[in-house]
A and B are shown apart, each in its own frame.
Chain A
C-alpha cells in the first residue's frame, strides 16, 4: 500500500508535554485498523472520538524535602507534575520519550526519566529536582564544579546531567572516568564534547572529599563571580611569535583572555534560567499543529467545523483563513536578510501551504484552553487530500516528471532564474590537460538535523496592536524584523524576548513558522498562545543540513601540485530553499583552475536550512576526502599534500588580514605526533585497525554592523545592553568581558542586559559565527565613547547616568579575514564488528584573540563532537513508498552519548590582525567544519577503504 501511513506519525506531537484536566478522547487510534481493512478513504479524520473520563487521584510525595499533596489526572507524567503543578521548571522536556535525559530527576535517590513515569506512580516517593540541589543558598560542590568547568552551555540538559552525576557521587564517591561516563550516558548534550561534565564530576568528587575533611562549605549562590576557572578546564594557549603575515602576537590583557565562568552559570545550574517553554501567562492558550502525513498533496478541502464546535477551542487557522507569508521560510538564493528578494520570489512559502510539499508540513493549527482540548480538536479536523507524485532524492529530482514547483526542481536564485551556483577561475580543461594525473570521485552526505536540546516553542501575546513574542532565537532583531514584515505591522510593534534558549546551531536565528502560527492564533483568539513542538515535529518541521552529492575531478602534477579542481554538486533543499544549498570547501585549496557548479534541488523531504557552517561540513568532507585520496594515490603524506596545496590567499588573489594556517598545521603535527603515527593506509591486517586523519579549515571571520549601548550610573555600575541571547556559546559573558576590558574595570562592575528587543539595540544574531566580532566591536566602540564622556564630564552624579552607544560597521578594503585551524584524529576500526571508535582528537585553531578560553574550549569541543556524529551516525531515513521519515528524534538519529565521546584536546594559537574586538575572530562553525573529513580520512587510513557516503555506519564498514 504505497503512500499510506497513519496520520498519527505527525500527530504524536500533539500529545506531548503537559497534560491538563479535560477529557481526552481517542485521537487517531482507529486509523490503522480502518486502513488495514482497506476502509481508509483519502478523506481523513472523519471519525467519532471516543470519550473517556480522566480520573483524578490525590497523591502525596516529597519533593525536594517538602511534602506535597496534589490532585492529578492519572495521565499526568511526573515531569508535568513538577513543571505544571509545582512550578519546578528546572526539569526540562527535551524529547518526552526517554531519549535524551533532560527530564532526569532522582526518585528515591535514583535517576529516572520523569517524562516516562506517571505522577500517580510517584505516590509516597521522594523526588529531588535541580531546584533541590543547593542548600541554604549554597551551590552543591557538583553545581559549583559545573560552573567552574563550563558544564552548562545552553543549559537545557544541565539539570539532567547534574542529577545523574549527583546520584553517582552519592553511590560512588570515588568514580573513575569510565564510571562517570557510564553513569551520565543517559544524558545527551548537543553543545559540548561531553568532556567537561566528566571533568566537573571528577572535580566535585575530589572537592567533596576535601570538604568532608574541612566541614566548611563556602559557596553561595550570590557570591562574587569567580574569574578563575579550574585549572584542568583550561586549554593550552599558545602565543606565536610576531610576524607580519601571521598577525601580531597578542599582548596579555587584564580581563579578556582569562578563563571565566559564565555570568549566568549559576542560573543555568540551579534551574532558575527561564526558557520559552517555562513561560506561563495569564489566560494563555495552548496550540497544536496538524501536519501532513503526505510528502506531496493538494488539499481539496479542510473541514474544521467539528473542531470549532469543541468547547474550549478558541482559534483555528488553515491555509484558507491565514495567508501569512513566511519570508524566512523560503527565500530564493538563500538571501534570508533580503526583503526585496522575499517580495519578488515566485516560490513563496506561507505559514500554511497548499499544496503541501513534505510530510510534516503544517496544515492547520488550533489554540485551545489546554493541551488536551487542542489535541482533540486536531482529531476533529477533516482534510481531503489529493495525493500527488513525489520525489525524495535530489539525485532523482532533476529530470523527474514530478514538479514540486511549476518552474521545475532546480531552485530559483534571487533573480528567479533556475541557475546553479557557479564559480570559475582559470581554465579547468586546460588545467586538467596540464595535469600528470587526473582523479575523479563521487561523495554523498546525508540530511542531519540541528538537534538542539530544546525543541521549538513560542509564546505570542498581543497587547492591542503590539505583539510580544517569547521565542528561542539567536537573533532577536532578525526575528522582530521577520515577524513585522510577515504580519504587516511596524517593527516597533513587535517585541521579541529570549532570556535563555537551549541551543541553536542555525535553526533559531530568524523567525520560524511556529512563531507566526502562535502569533496568528493569539491574534485570532484574543489571548496569549503557547505552541510547543514535539521532538519529532522539531526534527521534521524545522530544518536540517542539506544532503549533497558531489562529483570531483582533480588534476595534479607529479610533484603533488594541483592544476585543476572541478566540482559538480547537487544539494537537496526539501521543497523550499531556506538557504543557499551551496557546497563549500574548494576555496581552501590553492589552484589556478577551478570550476564549481552546484544545483540546489527541490525534493519532497523535510526542508534544508542553516546548520552550523551551512555549506561547509558536507563540502569539506567531499573535497578533503577527495584530496586525501589524491595524496594517497600520489604516495604522499596527506600533511605534505596539504602544506603544498592549501590556501595562502583567498581564492588565490585576495590577501588575508593575517595568515596562520601553516602554523596551525605544523603545531598540530607536532602536538599530535603525526609523523610518528601516520602510516600507509590499511597497514593493520588484524580485525582492529588503527588510523589517523587530518583536515584543515580556513573560515570566514568577517566584520559587520552591530550595536551596543553602555550605561554608567552614579554607583559606578556599568550596564551593557546588547541584543544577544546566548544560544549556549557564552555571548553574554563574552560581551561582559569585552566591555570590562574596554572600560578597564573588573567584570564584577559590569551587568549585561540581553535578549529583549525593547531593551537592547540591534545585534547581528548568533549565527554565522559573528556575534563576538560584530557585537563585540560595537561594545568596544560604545565603551570608548563612554570613557571619552567620563573624561569630559566626569562620572555621573547621584540620579544621573552616562549613556554611550555605537553602531560601527567596519569594513576590510582589499582583504579577507579568516580564521584557521587543523584537526587530527586517531580512530580504531573493528573491521569484523563494524565498530569505529574515535580514540583521540586534537583541534588546533587560530581564532585570533581568545576572549574567554573557558567557553571557547567548550565551543571547539562541541563542534568536534558534532562533526564526529555527522561522520559516523546521523541521518534521516525515509520510507520510499510513503515518503514518510522513519528516524526522526534523538534515538533515530543516534546522537553521540557520553560513551561515544573521545578526549578532545584543544590548542589555540592566538594572533591579532588588528580587527575585531582585541583581535578576536570567529570559532563556532569553524570547529565543526573540518571534523567530518578528519574522521573519514582516519577511517580510510585505518582500513584502506575510502568511505564516500555519509554517515559511515557499521553496515558500510562491514560491506
Chain B
C-alpha cells in the first residue's frame, strides 16, 4: 500500500469538508466505512489515496431509528454494519428484504465491519477493473468485458461499460422506495434511491450521484404497513461468499390474495439496481397465480441484451423472478 494519512472526522460534515479540502489541494482521498474493500483496492493500487477518512470515528450513524408507529418512516444510519442490519428486529419485521440482503453479503467477518453505506457505494467487482485493466472504471476509454470475458456482466443497461452493480442492499433499498440522505460540505440533500444510481451512459466512471466530497449518511424507509411483505433472493455460484450472479428484491403490498402494489428490482444484471416497472404494473391489482408469475418472469427479461457469455442469465432471471414471486405471494 502507498503510505497515506488516516484521519478521524468528528462527524459527516467534517468528513465531507476533509474530502473537499483534499480535493482542492490536489490530493486524493478515500472513505473507509468497514474498510475491507477500500483496503483491498489500496493494496491492489486501484486507488492510492493520500488521505483515508475513517468513518468508524463517526458516532451515532449506526442506528435504526424507528418511529412510534408503523406509519412512521424509519431512518437507518449509513454506518450500521451489515450484521447489525441483518439482525435488527425492526428491519426484520418491517423490511425483511433489506435484512435478508444484508445477511447475504460475503461472510460473518465482513458483515461485522462492512457498513450499509459502503455496501451501497461499493465499486464494481468486474475482474477487468479489479485486475487493474485500464477500463472506464480505472480511468480508461474501454470496457474490456464487452468483447472479453463477460460471464458475470450486464444484460440490461450496459454500455459503454458493462459492469453489474455489486451491492445486495441496493436493490432492496430501491425496492423499498428508500430515500438517501447525502452529507456534503455545505449541508445535506436527499435523493430517492432509484435516482441515486447512475448508468454508465450518464457517468461511465462512477456508479452513483455522490460528488467527490459527499458521503451517504442515512437511508430513510417509508412506512411498511402490515400488508407489505418482501424478500431478497440471491443466486450465487458457490453457497456463500460471492456477489450475486443474479438477485431479486421483491416487495408486495397484498390485499389478501390480490397484489395491490409491487416493486421488483434485480441485482447482478445491470450497472445499477434494475427496476422492472412493466412487471410491477403487470402484478398490480391482480392475484399472483403461477400463470401470472410466469408472465412476470417473461416480462423480467424482456429487452435483455446479453453479451457473448452471459445469456444464461436470461433463463436464470426468468425462473428466479417467477419462483420468488410465487413463494412470496404464498408466504
Contacts and interface: CB of A to CB of B under 8 A. Distances in A.
Interface of A: 1, 4-6, 8-9, 11-12, 15-16, 19, 23-29, 31-33, 35-36, 52-55, 57, 73-75, 77, 96-98, 101, 104, 107, 110-113, 115-118, 120-121, 164, 167, 182-183, 185-186, 372, 687, 832-835, 837, 873, 877-882, 884-887, 891-892, 894-900, 953-955, 958-959
B312 A36 contact: no
A52 B4 contact: yes
Contacts of A31: 134
B35 A116 contact: yes
A108 to B, nearest CB: 9
B131 interface: yes
B235 A833 contact: yes
B253 to A, nearest CB: 26
A117 B3 contact: no
A74 B43 contact: no
Nearest to A17: B43
Nearest to A27: B45
Nearest to A125: B56
Given A835-B235, A897-B238, A54 B3 contact: yes
Interface residues of B, number: 59
B277 interface: no
Main SS class of interface, B: loop
B109 A111 contact: yes
Nearest to A886: B127
Nearest to A872: B238
A955 B151 contact: yes
A922 B320 CA distance: 46
Interface string B228-263: 000000010111111001000000000000000000
Contact of B3 (A5, A52, A881, A884): A52
Contacts of A97: 40, 43
B241 A186 contact: yes
Contacts of A117: 35-36, 39, 113
Contact of B127 (A11, A74, A164, A892): A892
B2 interface: yes
Contacts of A121: 6, 32, 35, 54, 56
Q: Which 7 A-B pairs have the closest CB atoms?
A: A186-B107, A832-B319, A24-B3, A54-B3, A899-B239, A6-B132, A32-B134
Contacts of A953: 237
Contacts of B5: 55, 74
Interface in B136-158: 138-142, 144, 148-149, 151
A118 B109 contact: no
Contacts of B113: 107, 112, 116-117
Contacts of B35: 116-118, 121
Contacts of B1: 15, 19, 24, 75
Contacts of B235: 833-835, 954
A409 B320 CA distance: 46
A884 B108 contact: no
Contact of A36 (B32, B132, B140, B310): B140
B310 to A, nearest CB: 8
B3 A12 contact: no
A65 B303 CA distance: 59
A52 B46 CA distance: 17
B35 to A, nearest CB: 6
Given A11-B45, A112-B109, A900-B238, A25 B144 contact: no
Determine which residue in B35, B245, B315 has the highest number of CB atoms from chain A within 10 A of its CB, and name it: B35
A886 B52 CA distance: 28
A485 to B, nearest CB: 36
19 contacts: A9-B131, A15-B44, A24-B3, A32-B134, A36-B141, A75-B3, A97-B40, A98-B36, A117-B36, A164-B108, A182-B108, A183-B108, A186-B109, A687-B319, A832-B319, A833-B319, A886-B128, A897-B240, A955-B312
A182 B107 CA distance: 8
B141 to A, nearest CB: 6
Interface string B30-66: 0010011001100111101010101010000000000
Given A6-B133, A113-B110, A74 B138 contact: no
Given A185-B240, A954-B237, A954-B316, A23 B131 contact: no
A818 B133 CA distance: 49
A621 to B, nearest CB: 20
Contacts of B6: 55, 57, 74, 118, 120-121
Interface string B119-131: 0000000011001
Given A8-B44, A8-B132, A879-B149, A24 B2 contact: yes
Contacts of A886: 127-128, 131, 149
B302 interface: no
B2 A52 contact: yes
A899 B108 CA distance: 13
A29 B239 contact: no
Nearest to B6: A74
A32 B241 contact: no
Contacts of B40: 97-98, 116
Contacts of A75: 1-4
A592 B112 CA distance: 62
Contacts of A54: 3-4
Nearest to A24: B3
A878 B144 CA distance: 12
A186 B139 contact: no
B327 interface: no
B291 interface: no
Given A36-B141, A101-B107, A834-B316, A896 B238 contact: yes
A538 to B, nearest CB: 15
A519 B104 CA distance: 46
Determine which residue in A185, A687, A898 has the highest number of CB atoms from chain B within 10 A of its CB, and name it: A185
Interface in B94-123: 106-110, 112-113
B323 interface: yes
Interface string B1-33: 111111000000000000000000000000010
B228 to A, nearest CB: 26
A881 B319 CA distance: 34
A113 B56 CA distance: 16
A32 B107 contact: no
Contacts of B48: 26-27, 29
Contacts of B107: 101, 185-186
